[in-house]
Amino acid sequence: MRPVCHSIRKQLLFFVETRLGKTGVLEEKQQREIEAHTAECEACRLEAERIAAHLNFLQTLLPPTVPALLAAKCLAAAERTSRKPYRRFSLVTAGAAAAILLAVFAAGLWIGNGMKNYSPAPNAFASLVKVQNGLLDQLETLLRKEGDAESQDSFAAWQYPIEQVRYSSQVIEAYYKQNQGNPVAQRGFCEAIYQNIRTLAGLCASLENEKESAPSGAGLGTAKKKDIEI
Protein backbone atom coordinates (compact mmCIF):
# COMPACT_ATOMS: atom_id res chain seq x y z
CA MET A 1 0.00 0.00 0.00
CA ARG A 2 1.36 3.43 -0.95
CA PRO A 3 1.76 5.96 1.87
CA VAL A 4 -0.90 8.14 0.28
CA CYS A 5 -3.31 5.17 0.24
CA HIS A 6 -2.70 4.62 3.93
CA SER A 7 -3.89 8.12 4.84
CA ILE A 8 -6.76 7.95 2.32
CA ARG A 9 -8.01 4.65 3.79
CA LYS A 10 -8.68 6.32 7.13
CA GLN A 11 -10.98 8.79 5.39
CA LEU A 12 -12.65 6.34 3.01
CA LEU A 13 -15.53 5.60 5.37
CA PHE A 14 -16.40 9.29 5.61
CA PHE A 15 -15.94 9.71 1.87
CA VAL A 16 -18.43 6.89 1.24
CA GLU A 17 -20.86 8.29 3.82
CA THR A 18 -20.78 11.66 2.05
CA ARG A 19 -21.40 9.93 -1.27
CA LEU A 20 -24.36 8.14 0.27
CA GLY A 21 -25.87 11.49 1.17
CA LYS A 22 -24.69 12.21 4.71
CA THR A 23 -23.72 15.81 5.11
CA GLY A 24 -21.10 17.47 7.28
CA VAL A 25 -18.83 14.44 7.39
CA LEU A 26 -15.98 15.56 5.12
CA GLU A 27 -15.00 18.94 3.78
CA GLU A 28 -15.53 19.49 0.07
CA LYS A 29 -11.82 19.77 -0.59
CA GLN A 30 -11.07 16.44 1.11
CA GLN A 31 -13.95 14.82 -0.73
CA ARG A 32 -12.57 16.00 -4.08
CA GLU A 33 -9.06 14.78 -3.22
CA ILE A 34 -10.30 11.31 -2.32
CA GLU A 35 -12.53 11.27 -5.39
CA ALA A 36 -9.48 11.96 -7.57
CA HIS A 37 -7.43 9.34 -5.77
CA THR A 38 -10.01 6.58 -6.08
CA ALA A 39 -10.35 7.35 -9.79
CA GLU A 40 -6.77 6.25 -10.33
CA CYS A 41 -6.15 3.80 -7.46
CA GLU A 42 -8.03 0.57 -7.96
CA ALA A 43 -7.29 -0.85 -4.49
CA CYS A 44 -8.80 2.19 -2.77
CA ARG A 45 -11.75 2.24 -5.17
CA LEU A 46 -12.51 -1.42 -4.39
CA GLU A 47 -12.21 -0.73 -0.66
CA ALA A 48 -14.67 2.17 -1.03
CA GLU A 49 -17.05 -0.15 -2.87
CA ARG A 50 -16.81 -2.72 -0.06
CA ILE A 51 -17.57 -0.04 2.53
CA ALA A 52 -20.53 1.21 0.48
CA ALA A 53 -21.91 -2.34 0.16
CA HIS A 54 -21.54 -2.81 3.90
CA LEU A 55 -23.26 0.47 4.79
CA ASN A 56 -26.05 -0.23 2.31
CA PHE A 57 -26.53 -3.66 3.87
CA LEU A 58 -26.79 -2.14 7.36
CA GLN A 59 -29.46 0.22 6.03
CA THR A 60 -31.59 -2.75 5.00
CA LEU A 61 -31.77 -4.17 8.54
CA LEU A 62 -35.04 -3.79 10.39
CA PRO A 63 -35.05 -2.23 13.86
CA PRO A 64 -35.70 -4.58 16.80
CA THR A 65 -39.38 -5.28 17.47
CA VAL A 66 -40.56 -3.00 20.24
CA PRO A 67 -42.42 -4.83 23.04
CA ALA A 68 -46.11 -4.14 23.42
CA LEU A 69 -47.07 -1.24 25.69
CA LEU A 70 -43.44 -0.20 26.15
CA ALA A 71 -44.26 3.51 26.37
CA ALA A 72 -47.03 2.83 28.88
CA LYS A 73 -44.69 0.74 31.01
CA CYS A 74 -42.06 3.49 30.90
CA LEU A 75 -44.62 6.06 31.98
CA ALA A 76 -45.91 3.86 34.78
CA ALA A 77 -42.36 3.30 36.01
CA ALA A 78 -41.61 7.04 35.83
CA GLU A 79 -44.78 7.79 37.78
CA ARG A 80 -43.93 5.19 40.44
CA THR A 81 -40.44 6.57 40.95
CA SER A 82 -41.65 10.17 41.09
CA ARG A 83 -44.01 9.25 43.93
CA LYS A 84 -41.35 7.65 46.14
CA PRO A 85 -37.58 7.98 46.45
CA TYR A 86 -35.93 6.56 43.35
CA ARG A 87 -34.76 3.03 43.83
CA ARG A 88 -32.69 1.29 41.21
CA PHE A 89 -33.71 -2.19 42.20
CA SER A 90 -36.36 -3.71 40.00
CA LEU A 91 -38.73 -6.38 41.19
CA VAL A 92 -36.67 -8.89 39.24
CA THR A 93 -33.52 -7.90 41.15
CA ALA A 94 -35.33 -8.02 44.47
CA GLY A 95 -36.75 -11.45 43.54
CA ALA A 96 -33.30 -12.67 42.55
CA ALA A 97 -31.84 -11.42 45.84
CA ALA A 98 -34.57 -13.23 47.76
CA ALA A 99 -33.95 -16.41 45.75
CA ILE A 100 -30.22 -16.26 46.46
CA LEU A 101 -30.91 -15.77 50.16
CA LEU A 102 -33.26 -18.75 50.22
CA ALA A 103 -30.73 -20.87 48.31
CA VAL A 104 -27.97 -19.92 50.75
CA PHE A 105 -30.29 -20.63 53.66
CA ALA A 106 -31.26 -24.02 52.22
CA ALA A 107 -27.61 -24.86 51.58
CA GLY A 108 -26.87 -23.93 55.19
CA LEU A 109 -29.62 -26.30 56.36
CA TRP A 110 -28.33 -29.09 54.16
CA ILE A 111 -24.75 -28.70 55.32
CA GLY A 112 -26.02 -28.19 58.83
CA ASN A 113 -27.62 -31.66 58.97
CA GLY A 114 -24.18 -33.21 58.94
CA MET A 115 -22.62 -30.55 61.13
CA LYS A 116 -25.21 -29.91 63.82
CA ASN A 117 -22.67 -29.28 66.52
CA TYR A 118 -20.71 -26.81 64.48
CA SER A 119 -21.57 -23.15 64.84
CA PRO A 120 -19.60 -20.21 63.47
CA ALA A 121 -17.30 -18.28 65.79
CA PRO A 122 -19.32 -15.75 67.81
CA ASN A 123 -17.88 -12.74 65.99
CA ALA A 124 -17.59 -14.32 62.52
CA PHE A 125 -20.59 -12.52 61.08
CA ALA A 126 -19.60 -9.16 62.55
CA SER A 127 -16.04 -9.57 61.25
CA LEU A 128 -17.24 -10.47 57.77
CA VAL A 129 -19.58 -7.46 57.73
CA LYS A 130 -16.68 -5.28 58.86
CA VAL A 131 -14.49 -6.56 56.02
CA GLN A 132 -17.32 -6.04 53.55
CA ASN A 133 -18.00 -2.47 54.72
CA GLY A 134 -14.29 -1.73 54.65
CA LEU A 135 -14.14 -2.85 51.01
CA LEU A 136 -17.25 -0.81 50.18
CA ASP A 137 -15.73 2.34 51.70
CA GLN A 138 -12.41 1.68 50.00
CA LEU A 139 -14.08 1.23 46.63
CA GLU A 140 -16.16 4.38 46.98
CA THR A 141 -13.17 6.44 48.14
CA LEU A 142 -11.18 5.17 45.19
CA LEU A 143 -13.98 6.06 42.80
CA ARG A 144 -14.42 9.54 44.31
CA LYS A 145 -10.68 10.15 44.11
CA GLU A 146 -10.47 9.03 40.51
CA GLY A 147 -13.71 10.67 39.41
CA ASP A 148 -13.54 14.14 37.95
CA ALA A 149 -15.97 16.34 36.06
CA GLU A 150 -15.32 14.55 32.76
CA SER A 151 -15.73 11.08 34.20
CA GLN A 152 -19.19 11.33 35.74
CA ASP A 153 -20.46 8.93 33.13
CA SER A 154 -17.99 6.22 34.09
CA PHE A 155 -18.35 6.97 37.81
CA ALA A 156 -22.10 6.44 37.66
CA ALA A 157 -21.61 3.11 35.89
CA TRP A 158 -19.83 1.73 38.98
CA GLN A 159 -22.63 2.73 41.34
CA TYR A 160 -25.05 0.01 40.31
CA PRO A 161 -23.08 -3.03 41.54
CA ILE A 162 -22.02 -1.14 44.69
CA GLU A 163 -25.62 -0.27 45.49
CA GLN A 164 -26.65 -3.88 44.87
CA VAL A 165 -24.12 -5.14 47.42
CA ARG A 166 -25.18 -2.51 49.96
CA TYR A 167 -28.81 -3.45 49.52
CA SER A 168 -28.21 -7.21 49.81
CA SER A 169 -26.05 -6.60 52.90
CA GLN A 170 -28.92 -4.73 54.58
CA VAL A 171 -31.28 -7.62 53.84
CA ILE A 172 -28.81 -10.25 55.08
CA GLU A 173 -28.10 -8.34 58.31
CA ALA A 174 -31.83 -7.99 58.99
CA TYR A 175 -32.37 -11.73 58.56
CA TYR A 176 -29.32 -12.51 60.66
CA LYS A 177 -30.76 -10.54 63.56
CA GLN A 178 -34.06 -12.41 63.24
CA ASN A 179 -32.28 -15.78 63.40
CA GLN A 180 -30.07 -15.26 66.44
CA GLY A 181 -29.49 -18.61 68.14
CA ASN A 182 -29.83 -20.68 64.97
CA PRO A 183 -26.27 -21.75 64.04
CA VAL A 184 -27.31 -23.28 60.72
CA ALA A 185 -28.97 -20.09 59.54
CA GLN A 186 -26.06 -18.03 60.86
CA ARG A 187 -23.60 -20.04 58.80
CA GLY A 188 -25.77 -19.40 55.74
CA PHE A 189 -25.75 -15.65 56.36
CA CYS A 190 -21.98 -15.66 56.90
CA GLU A 191 -21.68 -17.38 53.51
CA ALA A 192 -23.92 -14.72 51.94
CA ILE A 193 -21.76 -11.88 53.29
CA TYR A 194 -18.71 -13.75 52.05
CA GLN A 195 -20.25 -13.80 48.55
CA ASN A 196 -20.64 -10.01 48.79
CA ILE A 197 -16.97 -9.71 49.73
CA ARG A 198 -16.02 -11.77 46.68
CA THR A 199 -18.12 -9.52 44.46
CA LEU A 200 -16.47 -6.41 45.91
CA ALA A 201 -13.04 -7.93 45.45
CA GLY A 202 -13.94 -8.57 41.81
CA LEU A 203 -15.03 -4.94 41.44
CA CYS A 204 -11.78 -3.69 43.01
CA ALA A 205 -9.79 -5.86 40.58
CA SER A 206 -11.79 -4.54 37.60
CA LEU A 207 -11.27 -0.96 38.76
CA GLU A 208 -7.54 -1.55 39.12
CA ASN A 209 -7.43 -3.04 35.62
CA GLU A 210 -9.22 -0.02 34.20
CA LYS A 211 -6.85 2.34 35.97
CA GLU A 212 -3.87 0.46 34.56
CA SER A 213 -5.28 0.51 31.04
CA ALA A 214 -5.90 4.29 31.25
CA PRO A 215 -2.91 6.61 30.62
CA SER A 216 -1.31 8.19 33.67
CA GLY A 217 -3.06 11.31 34.90
CA ALA A 218 -6.31 10.31 33.26
CA GLY A 219 -9.44 9.89 35.37
CA LEU A 220 -11.97 7.14 35.11
CA GLY A 221 -13.63 8.99 32.29
CA THR A 222 -10.81 7.86 30.09
CA ALA A 223 -10.86 4.34 31.41
CA LYS A 224 -11.37 1.79 28.68
CA LYS A 225 -8.88 3.86 26.75
CA LYS A 226 -7.76 0.61 25.18
CA ASP A 227 -11.20 0.34 23.63
CA ILE A 228 -10.83 3.75 22.14
CA GLU A 229 -7.26 3.58 20.97
CA ILE A 230 -7.99 0.57 18.89
Partner 1 sequence: MMIAAAKLQTSIEIDEDREILLRTAQGDDSAFALLTERYSGRVYGFLKRMVYSAEDAEDLTQETFCEAHKNRRKLRTDVSPLPYLFTIARRKAISLIRWRKVRRIVLPLMDEHEAAEPDAGETPRDRMHEKRKEEIVEKILATLKPAKRGVLILRYFEGLSYREISSVIGKPEATVKSIAYRAEEELRSKLSDLRLYE
CA nearest neighbour of 189 among 169, 160, 203? 169
Pair 186, 203: CB distance under 8 Å: no
To partner 1, the closest distance from the beta carbon of 29 in angstroms equals: 17
**3-class secondary structure, 141:** helix
The nearer residue to partner 1, 114 or 229, going by C-beta atoms, is 229
CA nearest neighbour of 6 among 63, 50, 44? 44
Distance CA 191, CA 49 (A): 59
Number of helices (H) and strands (E) in the chain: give both, helices first. Answer: 9, 0
- Residue 104, phi-psi category: left (phi > 0), alpha (psi -120 to 50), beta (remainder): alpha
To partner 1, the closest distance from the beta carbon of 161 in angstroms equals: 5
The nearer residue to partner 1, 51 or 185, going by C-beta atoms, is 51
Distance CA 37, CA 154 (A): 41
The nearer residue to partner 1, 126 or 156, going by C-beta atoms, is 156
Residues in contact with partner 1 by CB under 8 A are 10, 13-14, 24-25, 50-51, 53-59, 61-64, 66-67, 70-71, 73-75, 77-78, 81-82, 86, 88, 90, 92, 150, 153, 156-161, 164, 199, 202-203, 206, 221, 224, 227-228, 230
The nearer residue to partner 1, 125 or 158, going by C-beta atoms, is 158
Distance CA 101, CA 119 (A): 19
To partner 1, the closest distance from the beta carbon of 168 in angstroms equals: 13
To partner 1, the closest distance from the beta carbon of 24 in angstroms equals: 6
To partner 1, the closest distance from the beta carbon of 133 in angstroms equals: 19
To partner 1, the closest distance from the beta carbon of 116 in angstroms equals: 33
The nearer residue to partner 1, 56 or 138, going by C-beta atoms, is 56
Distance CA 227, CA 222 (A): 10
The nearer residue to partner 1, 14 or 175, going by C-beta atoms, is 14
